[in-house]
Amino acid sequence: MTENTTHYLKSSYLQLPYVDGSVEEIIRLKPDIIISSFTINPKTKDEAERLSKKTGIPVFMVPLDMGKYDQTFKVLGELLDRQEQTNRMRGFLHTYFDMIAIKAKQIPEKQRVRVYYAEGERGLNTDPSGSFHSQILDVVGAINVAQVAVSAGQGMSAVSMEQLLLWNPDVVLVWTGMGSSMTTMQAIRSDNLWAQTRAVKNNKLYQIPFQPFGWFDRPPATNRIMGALWTAELLYPGIFHYDLNKITREYFDIFYHHQLTDAELVEVLHPNPQLLKNSASKNH
């Protein structure tokens, strides 16, 4: 977690102890319940059951699927007796997020934008359709050009430049690792082979926002709600229209209990000068 990230978070959150995941550490902290957020399948269910037996503490599993956020928030509100807070979260979801999938399904196949999600130091790692790391592309109706196997856990399947040139995406969306720097964007912009791709030639190379966490994944949490709104409007401005300034302020207020300053809003929505330049005409 970087200094730029911490000022968006409540000090009470930052004072909570870091848990390395060891059984001993969990037992020492004596929690009433363990909440595990991951893909739910027989393997992870078995792991949760074994963790519960070792610690003597119940484990509640939360799915990572964005399509299940409403039910997840509802159940967590009941479980933690925080219904007022989770009702606000659900209200935000229904107001802004729910219509994305409905509209996305109506986009004709020929009009769907072909996108590559660039990860790793040189942008030569990615996640295909079906991975929770790239679920936003599926949600907004984009075509994920990556034809690689889904890699479990951390994802980031390696690809070659030859593969990338064959896929030749219309748009490239760039990660920032854990939000600490923009070295991948810099590497792509300085690479002569990357310059041959349609996306770079047409200046369709975009830095994904990453404050206080990545809006695409890493972690694949509620930050993806804003990521979906941002991506939907970026790819399909004729279909999706949002007042991102207003909505971003509202999201930070509800989910992070933080009132964004004007300077912070610019920092969040426009993480580098190039993106600011590309977005200037769309500034709401």
CATH number at residue 117: 3.40.50.1980
Q: Which domain holds residue 269?
A: 107-282
Domain count, the chain: 1
Q: Is the pLDDT of residue 180 over 60?
A: no
* pTM summary value: 0.90
pLDDT at 278: 43
List the alpha helices (DSSP H) in 34-112. 42-55, 69-80, 83-92, 98-105
Instruction: Give the pLDDT mean for 182-186.
Output: 87
Whether residue 246 is contained in a domain is answered as yes
Domain-located, residue 4: no
In a domain, 259, yes or no: yes
At 80, the amino acid letter reads L
Q: Is the pLDDT of residue 282 over 60?
A: no
Residue 149 has pLDDT above 90, yes or no: no
Rounded Cα–Cα distance for residues 284 and 44 (Å): 43
In DSSP notation, 143-160 reads EE---SPPPSTT--EE--
Strands 125-126 and 157-158: antiparallel
User: Do the domain assignments include residue 49?
Assistant: no
| pLDDT at 276 exceeding the cut of 50 | no
Average pLDDT over the chain, rounded to an integer: 91
Find residue 116's DSSP bridge partners. Answer: 172
> Contact 257/10 with Cβ under 8 angstroms?
yes
Rounded mean pLDDT, 111-118: 98
DSSP state of 82: -
Question: Does residue 247 lie in a domain region?
Answer: yes
- Does residue 276 fall inside a structural domain? yes
Average pLDDT estimate for 96-100 = 97
Does 78 reside within a domain?
Answer: no
- What is the predicted pLDDT for the residue at 251? 98
CA–CA dist 60, 16 (Å, integer):
20
- Report the amino acid identity of residue 254: I
pLDDT of residue 207: 94
Residue 16 lies inside a defined structural domain of this protein = no
Residue 283 has pLDDT above 50, yes or no: no
Torsion of CA 270, 276, 278, 279, to 10 degrees: 60
